[in-house]
Amino acid sequence: MNLTFVETNAGVRFRVPFCAYQAGHPAVDQCLDNRVYVGKVERTMAAKRRVRRLALMLIALTMCAVLGSGTAGAAELSDYRWTNRPLLLFAPTNSDPRLVETLTRIEASRCDFVARDMVIGLVVTEGTSTLDGHVLSTDESQRLAHQYAIGENAFSVLLIGKDGGEKLRVNQVPDLQAVYAVVDGMPMRSREAVTDPSHC
């Protein structure tokens, strides 16, 4: 019987008839189809590759967790002074409906938000707090809540100016047009609008 050999990276494959086989009696004349038979060596190597990939994934996940906790304190509110206007959103959890609605409104007016050099700060009691996408440490989150006298289960939105001062505070889902109006009334923003007008 002729066999067609095929080279592979992990061993040798060879094409043989797929037959109904009974112990001690290969019924070659009852072949149903041609199938690729993968040798025992290749199956073993494939299993080893799967184990190695799983091990690498576990190592990567562990490193992400370690690095995430180790570098979480890199983002601080003071890092954005004179460059951005943080809009701090304080909430009990990341899934708080008021927080979700606020983020939805920001996304709907993304161009206006970015044009005013604004960044989002999420400070939550339970969950991951972030500032402009960078993870805040638990200490920094608690420090911000204490600094601005935010209750543990309170919802509050604070606009921080480029000078680091608090410019607006609301304890409900904000009207972003009102927030933008406060920003536009700032002397620094007036100068920015002249030198770099918005295209929104």
pLDDT tens-digit readout, 125-163: 999 999 999 999 999 999 999 999 999 899 999 999 999
Using pLDDT thresholds of 50, 70 and 90, give the confidence band for residue 40: low
What's the pLDDT score for residue 194? 84
Structure confidence at residue 32 as a pLDDT band (50, 70, 90): very low
Is residue 70 very low, low, confident or very high in pLDDT (cuts 50, 70, 90)?
very low
Looking at per-residue pLDDT, the higher value among 45 and 59 belongs to: 45
58 pLDDT more than 60: no
pLDDT of residue 23: 43
d(CA 1, CA 6): 16
Alpha-carbon distance 57 to 162, whole Å? 41
- Which residue's entry shows tokens 């989150």? 141
Q: Are 113 and 132 in contact (CB under 8 A)?
A: no
Per-residue confidence (pLDDT) for residue 53, from 0 to 100: 55
pLDDT confidence of residue 25: 44
- Between residues 24 and 130, the one the model is more confident about: 130
Q: Is the pLDDT of residue 117 over 70?
A: yes
**Gap between the Cα atoms of 34 and 1, Å rounded:** 13
Question: What's the token pair of residue 163?
Answer: 């000078």
Mean pLDDT for the chain overall: 77
Report the amino acid identity of residue 83.
T
Domains present along the chain, CATH in parentheses: 4-72 (no CATH), 75-195 (3.40.30.10)
- Report how far residue 72's alpha carbon sits from residue 140's, in angstroms, rounded to the nearest whole number: 9
Q: What whole-number percentage of the chain has pLDDT above 70?
A: 63
Tell me which H or E stretch contains 62. Answer: helix 40-71
